[in-house]
Structure 1
Amino acid sequence: MLSRTQRSGSRPGAALLVFVCYLVAFAAAQYDPLKDFCRRWAHQAAVVDDRLYIDGGMVDWKPFSASSQNYTNPFFLYSDLGQTTEGMPTLNAGLSKNATIPTVNGGVLWEDSVNKRLYLYGGEFYQSPPTGFVLYSYDILYDNWISLGQPAGSAMVVPTSYGAGVSISWKGEAYHYGGWFNNASVPGWNGPPQASNRLIKYTMDTNTWSNLTGPDNVRRAEGAMVYIPAGDAGMLVYFGGSDDLYGNGTLTPEPLDRIYLFDIANTKWYSQMATGRIPENRRRFCAGATWAQDQSSYNIYIYGGAGFPPDTTGYDDIYILSIPSFQWIRGPYPADSNSTGPYPKSMMTCNVVNNAQMLVIGGTYSNDTTYMCDADVVWGEHSMDLGKQNPQDAIWALFKPNLTTYVVPTDILTAIGGASTGGAQTTAPVSGFNAPDLSVLMTRKAIVQSRSPTRDVSVPTAGKAHPGSGVVLGTGVIAGIAIGSVVAIIIILTACIICIRRRKKYYAGPRQANQPPPGWAGSNPPSASPAYSYPSPPLPVPVSGPPAELESEQGITPVYYTPARSPSSGKYEAWTTPAAAEMPLPSPTRSTRSRRASRASDREREARGVMPGQPYYSPVRTPDAVWPSFQGQTQSPNQGGVAYEADSSPLPIHPSGIGGGRPGPGTLPPGVPVQPRWDEPRR
């Protein structure tokens, strides 16, 4: 039985109007998601079968300028994992997503490979107030979205942004831990942002929710969580990110030597200390898990992330957490283990494909002074060969559609022993397990059971109607719908033209230098946790800023290296260091159409002084925003407190780099909650 929302959405007239709205919005955007791509970040991504789906987030268009940055990305795209362009999966546009489906940043896409669906959960709205939570699902077979309504079951669920999400298709379950409550994610939210300490569980086949506890009472956000098939039903592994110790958006680093594990079968949390080369504190990085063929080791690869003071620049590096030895291993990039790479990134996505490769999509370049695009030739796609199964023994490599087997690389074997197929010799932490149960669970392999689809998932034949939409209409009804639709189209086009003119007039106008930045309502923390309920009536929500490309504070300026093509190696070296080149130059044997397209692209690049295969560069401009001040390990040993600049009036705050102000003059003693500050983005 379809709900009223679903039934109304299937009416041809309504569907036509929505489709027209989408076309008008698309035309107004004046950007092509493939040809004009420059950068992408804070999006959601998921893999089902041979496609990697990319939704929402923020995007910069090329040519890079003040008017082409920080756009909400309305396009729903997919990368074809069975086909490559310039050595990376081919990106395709044109999937359906009308204006009724939220476009958010910092959310999550849960994949259901059994029923061929995606679920959109959480995230923040940009330049519009958030709406009450409704779970939307994308039907892969029929290329349409449906509303599954508000959460059902015993739990009241209020989604967060920049939390950690993972789905387990064979169980039909999805999980989300932590994240931020704020007035860009929760309707009517008043006061400073606040992180969550809850683990949310969604059961796909019954459309029900559970509100579970976290490992403790600490509120966390911006970390990473992955699934490994250890224990009886698998385990969730969480680490890194930010702690909100005072419930007011103040950021304290969560050290990466502390690993949290959730045993799904027993719904129980464990904590385990890790050893080895511990990664530097970071947030908004991405992670993916794979394992040896005999499951004697589970290896979690992480990339990049934003930093905390005094090193706010962030990271361009790879680390590997090997379980059950719980050893951190500095990955093969960069080659110098005492430094990070030249292009620190955060807010990208990591998706493991067939256990053997991991696609890193997009990300924001912290402190970038050159404002180059992110490998725009391949739409910001970067591929890790997790087992380094290539002649160059390189971690960054061309994507191989047929690579489906993972082998344990030398970097890990050196630490835990064994062979490429498994047989790890180190199977416990150096100082032992923190809990006796954990030592037993690590010896067990999850029993992966076959889950039956709850609907027909065979490939639909041409013209097959979507279930529930098979309404036969008479000729008169069809004619009435057509006439009404034409009138509606005229009204919609007129309204859109007016809106576009007003928008252009607004952006063409001068900006006041001292105008408070858009951002976050209220300055006092709520008296208690939001307790998963909405205020009534809703309070007005100001327009929020984007999760901005961030610069450093305290005069720290990172060093960026101008990429150069090595004449001897013939490699792209735009995104990695010269010693770790990523993509070989295109093959000279291509179709006539490909050669024409390449020559056109080369002419455009030569006009801008960029060699073929190198990223586009844009004129240097002033960065958008500054990093916040942080509570925690940010003071020098001889410092008695945290000093602040004077300001005549405190402004709102936001933990993820959007808008905000700073406290007044003075010094606070250590241990007192300190609220971060953000300055107005400078254009």
Structure 2
Amino acid sequence: MNIFTLLTSILLLSGPASAQSADLFPLDPVTYFCARWQHSSAVKNNILYINGGIETFNYPGAFRTNWTNNTLGVNTFLLEVDLTASWNWKTNISITALNKTANPKTGTFNPNFVRGTMFQGPANDSRIYFYGGTSFLGNESFLGIDKGSSNQYPLWSFNGSNAVWDQFDIHTLWRPSFGAAAEAPDQGLGFYLNGQLDNGTSTETLAVGETTFYLDGMMVIDLVNQTANNISTAGIRNYLPRIGGGMQYVPGVGKSGVLVALGGQVDDSKISAITKGRLLNFTTVDVFDIASYIENPSGNGTWYSQTTSGAFPLPRTGFCTIVASAPDNSSHNIYLYGGHNPFTSTIYDDIYVLSLPSFTWTQVYSGHSPRWGHTCHLVANRQLLTVGGNLSNRSSSANGCDWEVKSVAILDLNSLTWGSVFDAGAGEYELSAEITATVGGAAIGGATKKTPDGGWDNADLGAIMSMTRIYSNAPVSTTPIPSAPSSTKSPTHHPSRLSTATVIGIAIGSLTALIFLLLLSLYLLHRHNLPPFRRLRPRHELEDTGKGELEPGKEKTKLELAGTEMRAEFPNSMVRAEADRDTVTYAVELPANMGRGAMWGVPVIKEPEECYSGGGKEWTGEERVKKEKGN
């Protein structure tokens, strides 16, 4: 039990009058868990990490003696779930809530954001990484709410070996949120496609008001050297910036694997506040050839679009994906689970599989407990582990707490059976009968369907998909990604061990050079009568350049920001940001799933009758149990 949980427990035991004081302490997201969504998560070294996210807490509120007060707030801890041994989440799961500590170099804390992402990082790196996100402003009185954070440090890390937090200036202009993320850990690369800006993404975007802007470009983040590069996404066919979609790394094809972008929400209008936008369907997906970028880092890489076939999922956002390849690499299967349609208030409890290289969809599951805003991971060879999710269209989860009382669930991919048991020693992944009926072959592989039904939309993509690549999770020591233009960092290389004599020689030479430079510096300082030291502004504070401030007396203000970065255009009297890319940028607004009292950063979802013309009905607790049991 951590100190905050202990103090809160003491206050609760002291009587109703002290229950109000519980609001003074961060709420333990494990002990008082009710529901969790729009968080980020990653698996590293047999540990599941969960960070941030909106959460409802079940704890006695002011003058209450029962546990029925669902308090809306955020998760202010980093959660760890042990995956080294088997467990049953109903009986013996181990979940630890770690207090976030300040970065010892800057004194700042990792913000408690939502709609961000987490990267596991290279195998030989003991850190996990956090990128992007926005503030949850639905309950600003909740302790731990972050009202924006400087754009200077959109990338953070947590070292699992010594519990140290760190932050990195990767020379980007904006912190995005609600974009599609993927990771190639075998190459030390993270990817973040499009996303949005709002008044919760940073302190610099507070001026945007109650408007959301889509971002252009895809960030390629070098997790070995902690640098980043923004590349154009204008090469995507029928391109519009998107939010709320998914992107999955498929390592088994091409020279360096591919990224598959799925679904999401766009707006066909080029100006803000005109339409509600629309959802992308799954009849076409976009594929990025990673090798095309690695071989030419100064370019934008190559995107392909491919028509799909089979049983398509309905358009949606807020879903999660994983990939599992057949034992013989004859097929690579992307599992898409859950999600919702924000325009119709529809939530989904289904699983579809996109099998490559045939680009064929197969529905493998349909249930009665829908959720959105969750995350999922492939663990122990063949198990889909899901984390959290909202069960309703109201951010207060008014229809009750998550019936998965520990915020996790397990699906065995071979049998397509849901359960509460995580099997750390599960056998190898095999294809289910539903998938083999689509792609041919048997459970262990041998797929016979190797091309799309309508042929390849581009012959070059066909050549890439026919090239088998052996996935390796070996340590990554260097990547070819260049530093950002304004960065002075050079790629970090890890040469073989030097001899003792060489090390001693280098040390003596370095010491001699250092003494010489010190003496020269003291001489020059004395000659010019300069003070020997100069107090520098801490790196976690923004320099007072005025670039982030509105110019008084001007109707239209312009932020001129150097470098290459995702960019957004702000119409009318809003701030305008520019970057040196020739890509098309659109400024659009989030669709009208915003109800009265919504705070920008994360919408407060209202009752269907309040937000949607078609009306709707929330499940009662009794109805929900019946639906979950299939009655």
Please classify the TM superposition score into its range, dividing by the shorter chain length. Answer: 0.5 to 0.7
Q: Match for residue 305 of structure 1?
A: 339
> 1:313 is aligned with what amino acid?
T
Of 146, 166, 173, which aligns to 1:146? 166
Residue 451 of structure 1 corresponds to: 475
Aligned-partner Cα distance in 1 for 2:282–2:576: 29
**Distance between the aligned counterparts of 1:122 and 1:532, measured in 2?**
21
Report deviation, 1:94: 2.6
Aligned to 2:187: 171
- Report the Cα distance in structure 2 between the residues aligned to 1:219 and 1:546, rounded to whole angstroms: 19
Contact 2:400 / 2:621 at 8 angstroms: preserved in 1? no
The alpha carbon displacement at 1:355 in A equals 3.9
Q: Look up the match of 2:313.
A: 279
State the distance in 1 between where 2:431 and 2:573 align.
48
State the distance in 1 between where 2:57 and 2:468 align. Answer: 46
- Among 222, 226, 230, the alignment partner of 1:207 is 226
| Deviation of the 1:351 alpha carbon | 1.4
Please list, as runs of the form range in 1=range in 2, the aligned pairs for 1:332-371 lying within 5 A after superposition. 332-334=365-367, 341=368, 343-367=369-393, 371=399
Distance 1:51 1:171 in 2: 21
Hey, what does 1:121 align to over in structure 2?
A: 131
SS across alignment from 1:188: helix
Distance 2:99 2:147 in 1: 25
Which of 214, 224, 246 is the equivalent residue of 1:224? 246
The answer to whether structure 1 residue 326 and structure 2 residue 345 are counterparts is: no
- 1:97 and 1:41 map into 2 onto residues whose CA distance is 23
Give the aligned residue type for 2:78: F
Distance 2:580 2:76 in 1: 28
Shift of residue 89 of structure 1? 4.6
Change (3 A) 1:237 1:116: same
How does 1:166-565 map onto structure 2 within 5 Å? 166-189=182-205, 190-191=207-208, 192-214=211-233, 215-216=235-236, 217-229=239-251, 230-247=253-270, 248=272, 250-266=276-292, 267-309=301-343, 311-334=344-367, 341=368, 343-367=369-393, 371-375=399-403, 377=405, 379-388=406-415, 394-396=417-419, 398-448=421-471, 450-452=474-476, 524=572, 530-531=578-579, 544=600, 546-552=602-608, 553-558=612-617, 560=619, 562=621
1:381 is displaced (CA, Å) by 0.7
Q: How far did 1:61 drift?
A: 0.7
Contact 1:197 1:213 in 2 (8 A): yes
Residue 324 to residue 345, structure 1, CA distance change in 2 (3 Å):
same
Which region of structure 1 is more displaced relative to structure 2, 411-420 or 441-450?
441-450
- Equivalent residues of 1:82, 1:89 under 8 A apart: no
- Tell me the secondary structure at the aligned position of residue 328 of structure 2: coil
After superposition, where does 1:99-138 map in structure 2 within 5 Å?
100-112=109-121, 113-126=123-136, 127=140, 128-133=146-151, 134=153, 135-138=155-158
Superposed, which structure 2 residues align to 1:40-119 within 5 Å?
40-63=36-59, 68-83=70-85, 84-86=87-89, 89-94=93-98, 96-98=100-102, 100-112=109-121, 113-119=123-129
Alpha carbons of structure 1 residues 563 and 331: separation in structure 2 relative to 1, 3 Å: farther
CA distance in 1, matches of 2:179, 2:629: 34
Tell me which amino acid in the other structure corresponds to 1:101. N
Letter in 2 for 1:323: L
CA deviation after TM superposition for structure 1 residue 320, in Å: 1.2
| CA deviations over 1:570-613 (Å, ceiling 9, x no partner) | xxx95973259xxxxxxxxxxxxxxxxxxxxxxxxxxxxxxxxx
1:200 to partner: Cα distance? 0.4
Question: What amino acid sits opposite 2:403 in the alignment?
Answer: A
Q: Of 27, 31, 34, which aligns to 1:35? A: 31
Instruction: Report SS of the residue matched to 1:175.
Output: strand
Q: In structure 2, what is the Cα distance between the partners aligned to 1:318 and 1:405?
A: 20
Amino acid at match of 2:428: T
Q: Against the structure 1 CA distance between its residues 74 and 411, is the aligned structure 2 distance closer, same or farther, given a 3 Å change threshold? A: same
Aligned residues: 463
Q: Contact conserved, 1:182 with 1:193, CA < 8 A, in 2?
A: yes
Superposed CA deviations along residues 533-588 of structure 1, whole A, max 9, x for unmatched, are 9xxxxxxxx97464434432225324637569xxxxxxxx95973259xxxxxxxx
What secondary structure does 1:142 align onto?
coil
TM-score (norm 2): 0.67
Q: What runs of 5+ residues in structure 1 fail to find an aligned partner?
A: 1-18, 335-340, 457-521, 534-541, 565-572, 581-683
Distance, in Å, in 2 between the alignment partners of 1:307 and 1:322 is 24
SS in 1 for 2:110: coil
Q: Supply the AA of the counterpart residue of 1:231.
A: G
Specify the code of the residue in structure 2 equivalent to 1:175.
Answer: F
Q: Output the CA distance in 1 between the equivalents of 2:70 and 2:342.
A: 29
1:100 CA drift (Å): 1.6
Q: Separation in 2 of the partners of 1:91 and 1:532?
A: 46
Task: Report how far residue 123 of structure 1 moved.
Answer: 0.4
Give the AA of the match of 2:386: V
Q: 2:47·2:82 contact (CA, 8 Å) conserved in 1?
A: yes
> Which amino acid in 2 is paired with 1:371?
N
TM-score by length of 1: 0.62
1:33 maps to a residue whose letter is: P
Say if 1:70 and 1:546, in contact at 8 Å, map to a contact too. Answer: no
1:90 shift after superposition:
2.6
Counterpart secondary structure, 1:146:
strand
Once the two structures are superposed, residues 457-497 of structure 1 have per-residue CA deviations (whole angstroms, 9 ceiling, x without a partner) of xxxxxxxxxxxxxxxxxxxxxxxxxxxxxxxxxxxxxxxxx
Name the CA shift for 1:397/1:129 in 2 (closer, same or farther; >3 Å). closer
Alpha-carbon distance in structure 2 between the residues aligned to 1:352 and 1:206: 27
Distance 1:404 1:221, change over 3 A: farther
Q: Contact 2:100–2:110 (CA<8 Å) still a contact in 1?
A: no
Q: 1:129 to 1:35 in 2, by over 3 A?
A: closer
Separation (CA, whole Å) in 2 of partners of 1:575 and 1:243: 36
Residue-by-residue CA offset, 1:15-52 (whole Å, 9 max, x unaligned)? xxxx99x9999983363322211101110100002111
Question: Which runs of 5 or more residues in structure 2 are unaligned?
Answer: 9-20, 62-67, 103-107, 141-145, 293-300, 478-491, 495-569, 582-597
What is the CA-CA distance between 1:110 and the residue it aligns to? 0.9
| 1:398 Cα deviation from its structure 2 partner | 2.7
1:396 CA displacement? 4.8
Structure-2 separation of matches of 1:56 and 1:284: 16
In structure 1, the residue corresponding to 2:361 is in which secondary structure? strand
CA distance in 1 between partners of 2:245 and 2:333 (Å): 17
User: Does the CA-based 8 Å contact 2:88-2:422 persist in structure 1?
Assistant: no
Shift of 1:441: 1.0
